Amino acid sequence: MSTGDIVLEVENLSVTFATESGPLQAVRDVSFTLRAGETLALVGESGSGKSVTSLAIMRLTPPAPLVTLAGSVLFTGADGERRDLLALDLDGMRAVRGNEISMIFQEPMTSLNPVHRIGDQIAEAITFHERVSNRVALARAAELLDKVGIPDARRRLSAYPHHLSGGMRQRVMIAMALACNPRVLIADEPTTALDVTVQAQILELMKELQQATGMAVIFVTHNLGVVAEVADRVMVMYAGAIVEKGGVVPVMTRPLMPYTQGLLHSVPRLDPESLGRDTLEAIPGSVPDPLSLPPGCSFAPRCRHVRPACEAAVPALEAADDDHDVRCRRWRKLAEAGA
Amino acid sequence: MSDQMAPAATAPEIPLVEVRELRQWFPVGGGLLRKHDMLRAVDDVSFTIAKGEVLGLVGESGSGKSTLGRAILRMTQPTGGQILFDGRDLTKLGRRALRPLRPRMQFIFQDPFASLNPRMTVRQIVGAPLVIQRPELNAAARDARIAEVLGTVGLSMQYAGRYPHEFSGGQRQRIGIARALILEPGFLVADEPVSALDVSIQAQIVNLLIEVRRKLGVAMLFISHDLAVVGHLCDRVAVMYLGRIVEIAPTRALFRQPRHPYTEALFSAVPVPDPTVRRDRIILRGDVPSPLKPPSGCAFRGRCRYALPECAAAIPLLRQVEGGHWKRCIRDDLVLGRPGKRGAVEEM
């Protein structure tokens, strides 16, 4: 897929929650860029900080002093102007959110308002950002519903969310997110609650819409199959930090970080040859407590290649190749041994 | 009601569980003067599970797979049909008569957060079945058994005094499995036991279940929407669509050569974690039809790319097409795509 100009530059983003047991750093020093037309997959397990990262970009984390954001999120709007979203005031952010950057969530059930007709909910997103009449907004809502593949769109405007299936609700969410032609769409596990056949429909729809609009997509997911399907680039997070990042093919076919390798190996495969009652290669243990992270590499306690040096200091994110970064002290050794 | 002559896919040995033409219908809507509709959540389902065998049950939400799992353990009163457990028909037994059979069949739940009482310690949760079923055991004997079963699931007795919130999702699922195993059941129904877990943890629990069946020889109905997990764990697989089994076969046979168009589409929809493979995906249009108003004939025909006018005529029979491989589809001229391969139609 051809990619264009940089629309989003996240630099040294950190998100810290104030908890009773002290500050909890949910996201640590995350930097990445996103280009127009590109899909960046944000992969990780629960507690990896992938959702918090996307919420922080949208400035949807709870306000300070509960949550402190550090770093910068530089967004280039349709007007060509570059702004730091973390420095915008609430009104400035509201003008961007849902307009130039929008978001869809995992649960289409709970993200739609159950007591409003879906047409009105989509139209509201339009009238909030543009000075158009309600009638015009509703007509646009019908067009959007049609675009996301909802049959009989005009009549469906007056449907309530509970009239629709899970897949149809997610289509409505996408229609709403696209209402103002965003430059960036953040999709947080948009297909996780859906059946595989419906997931396939939604992924196809998102691909089509992206090709038509040229928007950039940040796709947050834990499903590596979905990553392989949608992503141009991948960013793997573990315990709040990026541990590997790069193009989807190098990261998924030649992963350098033991955690990424472990994740890929622990997924059971579908092809008949790999069936059988052999055990899966699970990663032992579980993610560390974010309040007491290990002093060195946060994956060290679960890593089978661990050396004492790994536990001494947090390794840096190194460039292993063009567009392939890895946070592992031993990646060179391991790559040689594996090759 | 029956549209099949023999129980589907008979296992080689004498079955531990034999389900015959099971129906679980629920009345929906209706009122004082209005007749209610019947939701046929499970309709005319037959299969067997041998001792020590693991049967996978796959299907999408609303296919009736969970309802079936609950009905088999008599958590509900089936509308019709028989459930023979070791030769005894569970549908004929009341609460009291079922009680002595309960220890032999247990349930593992999907959500390790909702299925453990937050006010009970691990010792109380795991030991509860013993308190009910084996009241003659004293506390020391109970503790010994709790320690043993916790060991089986990879936890130690030092956790016995802790509460569920002190554990991660994977550890909680281990506690749930320990509770299911403590009475040494011969049969487990596991309803999506790994769906709520992270990928790396999911593999741990799948491995644990593989080990449990190896060590204890327990038979299992493994309900899941994840075909890859089912393929890894199960001896045979049944595919459900709208309350009925549409295909049932030994795992390898099903994965090598699916015979029902729905199974093909299901396989095709699973994203494969390899970015270098670009497949021609079969995208099913629309949603699963409402079980309140199922289409005439084959329930899948509205979404099936191979549907013929004849498909609307009658509900297809579940027919054996090969040893142990049964399908509910009238078309025998199809060569369907297997996972990872492209689908192709060969007209004969």
Positions of chain A with pLDDT lower than 50, given as ranges: 1-2
- Per-residue pLDDT tens over the stretch B114-165: 899 999 999 999 999 999 999 999 999 999 999 999 999 999 999 999 999 9
Q: Which residues pair with A326 in a beta bridge?
A: A244, A318
Please report the pLDDT score of residue A4 as a whole number.
76
Interface of B with A in 151-190 (CB under 8 A): 168-171
* Chain B residues close to A290, C-beta within 8 Å: none
CB contact under 8 A, B200 and A283: yes
Task: Kindly report the average pLDDT of chain B as a whole number.
Answer: 89
Q: How many CB atoms lie within 10 A of CB B61?
A: 15
> What is the Cα–Cα distance from B29 to B261, expressed in whole angstroms?
33
Amino acid, res. A221: T
Q: What token pair was written down for B236?
A: 């045979």
Task: Say which residues have a Cβ less than 8 Å from residue B64's Cβ, sequence separation at least 6.
Answer: B24, B41, B42, B43, B240, B242, B243, B244, B291
| Across B70-95, average pLDDT | 94
Interface of A with B in 237-296 (CB under 8 A): 248-249, 252-253, 262-264, 266-272, 275-277, 279-284, 286-287
pTM of structure:
0.87
State the number of CA atoms in the 13 A half-sphere of B49 facing the CB: 29
| Across B274-280, average pLDDT | 79
Please report the pLDDT score of residue B162 as a whole number.
95
- Per-residue pLDDT tens over the stretch A302-315: 999 999 999 999 99
pLDDT at B24 over 60: yes
Express as a percent the part of chain B with pLDDT over 90: 70
Please report the pLDDT score of residue A276 as a whole number.
59
CB contact under 8 A, B283 and A201: yes
Task: Say which residues have a Cβ less than 8 Å from residue A287's Cβ, sequence separation at least 6.
Answer: A45, A46, A47, A48, A238, A239, B168, B198
Please report the pLDDT score of residue B338 as a whole number.
73
Tally helices (H) and strands (E) across chain B.
Answer: 9, 12
| CA-CA-CA-CA torsion sign (B79, B82, B85, B88) | positive
Q: What token pair was written down for B135?
A: 């009241």
Q: What is the ipTM of this complex?
A: 0.83
- Per-residue pLDDT tens over the stretch B25-62: 998 877 777 778 888 999 999 999 999 999 999 998 88
- Per-residue pLDDT tens over the stretch B227-237: 989 999 999 99
Please report the pLDDT score of residue A106 as a whole number.
82
Please report the pLDDT score of residue B2 as a whole number.
42
Q: How many CB atoms lie within 10 A of CB A153?
A: 18
Contact A294, A301 (CB under 8 A): yes
Lowest model confidence (mean pLDDT) among A204-218, B5-19, B232-246: B5-19
Please report the pLDDT score of residue A313 as a whole number.
93
Q: What's the maximum distance between 2 C-alpha atoms anywhere in chain B?
A: 70
Q: How confident is the model at residue B340 (pLDDT cuts 50, 70, 90)?
A: low
Q: What is the DSSP string of B122-146?
A: HHHHHHHHHHHH-TTS-HHHHHHHH
- Per-residue pLDDT tens over the stretch B291-328: 888 889 999 999 999 999 999 999 999 999 999 999 99
Which of B66, B198, B226, B266 would best serve as a mutation to test chain A binding (most A beta carbons within 10 A)? Answer: B198
Q: Is the peptide bond before A272 cis (omega within 30 degrees of 0)?
A: no
